[in-house]
Structure 1
Amino acid sequence: MDSLTLTPSLPLRSRVALTVWFDFAPPSKQGLAELQCHLTVNETTVEAYGSGVYTLPSLWNALNQCAQGESAEARLVNQMLSDIRAGHLSILQALVRAELSVSAERVQHHWLSGEPIASRLLYVYDEYLTTLLAMPEPERRAVGTLYKWQLSYRYLRTYLESTGQSELFLNRITIGWAKEYYQWLRARPLAINYATELVGNVREVLQFALENELIVENRLNSLKLTWQAAKPIYCLSLGQLQTLERLDLPKPLDLARWWALLCCYTGLDYPDAVTIAKDPKPHIVHLPQGDKLVWKRLKVKQVHQAYPEWAICHIPLLEETQRLLPRMQVLRAPSFTGLNQNLGKIENRLELPFRFTTKVCRKTAGAMFIHRGYRMEAVQKILGLKDFRTFQRHYLSTWQEVVDDNMERLMNS
């Protein structure tokens, strides 16, 4: 006799008990006879049905639910019965996973008909999120990425609920459905690339379902959606940085200029720059090769409803930074909004073809440290970035001067 008790994660579900046992239909024949399946789910038993397994009644031990002896026939019968039990348990698990009502009749139906059981999309999506969260380091994705996946789940759930598809099963997902979801996302409105990413997340969940044998094919594998070119990444050039230092500016813009320069020469976020400028000594480490700032940078804020993630920045103290720090200790720190507004006015004086904000300052620092000869992996550590791909995508802006310096170095070597 074989039994299984399942306690699904859904709070409204009760325990599910399944029992499969075998015996002959009376009266038993003297020759080969078919063992009958007796299925019970939650104390409800259905009418016996054929197992497809034939053996001699003299070999059968009803009490131990097995064929007796060490003969090849007995071993074969026992293996086949074990497979039948496992198959029934698998059907029960699939019904629970699909959040369908579980009964002896339904388990029997799927066993005899071979009809596949499709899981609900939202249930499997939630299961995939649990898998992502449970991944150990270093396979586990960044906290920001996990937050985006959770946000993606909420968009999908809102769409399904608003369109009456909360019970959507995996085998109902087609390219046509994905395009309708994409159009709904665009009408929110969401940017083309973000809407495409959210549909791509559904495709990844289907791939997870395919690998776990919940579906026989991933119909979204051939789906192609439009992507826009990534937004250009801007930073100040070396000449623009030098011009910014020399500009004759009125007092409010002059104040904004110095805070912007501090961010350009350190790569610090503006709030972090303000904190360090007030009292830099606790954050300075003296080394034989020079001084550096060591700062614990918050990468993911708590307002994102995700666990905060910290990064340690190791920032070499450049000559420009050492000159700036004494000045910054006595300068007033404007609000974040006020600073960006004044940088917008400086943008016109520099005749920049892009918006000048504190984000531009941080990206300028990445390019400047590369220009000063720091290797890319060192610059990644200076900026406190965990993922090198993020560094490449958002911070690796190469100035013309970097190329010129390398040409000169090679020519003189």
Structure 2
Amino acid sequence: MATVSFHLKEPGADRPTAIFALLTIDRRTRSKVYTGQSIHPGKWGKAEQRALTRGRGNELNGHLNDTLDGISQRLLLAYGECLAAGTLPTAAQLKEAAAPEKPAEPAPPAPTPGGQFWQRFEEWVSYTRNTGTRGTAQGHATAGRHLREFAESTGYAVDFDTLTPAVGDRFTAYLLNVAGLADNSIHKNLFRLKSFIKWATQRGYTTAPALHGVTWAKREPDVIALSAAELRALEALPLPPGLRLDKARAWFLLACYTGLRYSDLVSIQPQHLRPATDKLPAHLRLTAKKTRAVVNVPLSAPALAIVNRLLAGGLASVKSQPITNPVLNRFLKELGALAGINSPVEVIRYRGGVADVTTYPKYEKLTVHTARRTFVTLNLGKGMSAEFVMKLTGHTSYKSFQRYVNLTPQRVAEEFARFHEMPD
């Protein structure tokens, strides 16, 4: 079942703000689609999710509501057509459905080499998706969405030869002050757009040095990982077997035992499991989705038991599918609270070089990726060399691996206590 609701991008603004539609499928999957319409928050009825037509409204708001009704119908129709085909609507399909209906127009002239920016951008995203790196393609699409919204809000025509350093600086300012992104997210979006320009240049689509010289400082947050004691508490937590939290714990523990990313965990097949021999323990041999590096991960007895359970279908959710990443992250926070993983952790987000420090109980910040960080930090703490751990995790460069080596204050205290007797 799908529903469409309408919301304001900035409900507290003192100026007209964009209206976006939220398509909700089965009360779980949500897709955000901008309608191309805007309204002053004072003329919007939040409960009705429509423009006010009485009191603070005006006579034109009825036409706006008719437009929103039409968008709602087209979005539901697009969903129904995809459902009949056994798929979910893509962001491009929803955007097309939300676009205002226009009368037929004469075919435009053939595009000039300088006017193909968005056509080539969509080609780049599709190329990345077709190579099997769907998560990376989604990141590329997000960077494109931010650039489109910047263009719409400023009225700026984005093209290869118009993305000058001055415009790049305006774009990063938009990401910081309007989109509200932290420094790391701004850096990633800028990096992805530069990667696109490089890709387009290599294929002869442009020779313009777009975004040349535009940079943004990247400030990595502290690594959050479980301590050995916290991992044992999670392992020992009594849970009804076969239910959602028991399955979620098994997925997370397997990641803690192997260091695999979520995308690699859910791709494990029987051919990836190599049985023990006289010379080698049972291990997983697979190609990492993100880096394409071949990894061989030895399996401890607990890890092997979980792999066998996974291959037997014992960790599937509804429709024999793995638990999705967002759902698993939600379950992990519940598991962490039950296991008493509540030591305070400081989360630092940098915006424009200014640190925003917030303290949380640790369970609130648990994600699937915490398991990979736990694998690295615990094995380094046991004395394994960084090179050996990198071989197990599939990291292809020490630079990307180094952020896992950073010592948090908690880990410094733990390591110090291992070598020195602490006074009572």
TM range (shorter): 0.3 to 0.5
Whichever structure has more helix as a proportion of its residues is: 1
Could you tell me the TM-score, scaled by structure 1's length? 0.47
Give the TM-score of the pair, scaled to structure 2. 0.46
Larger relative contact order (Cα-Cα within 8 Å, sequence gap ≥ 6): 2
User: Rg bigger for which structure?
Assistant: 1
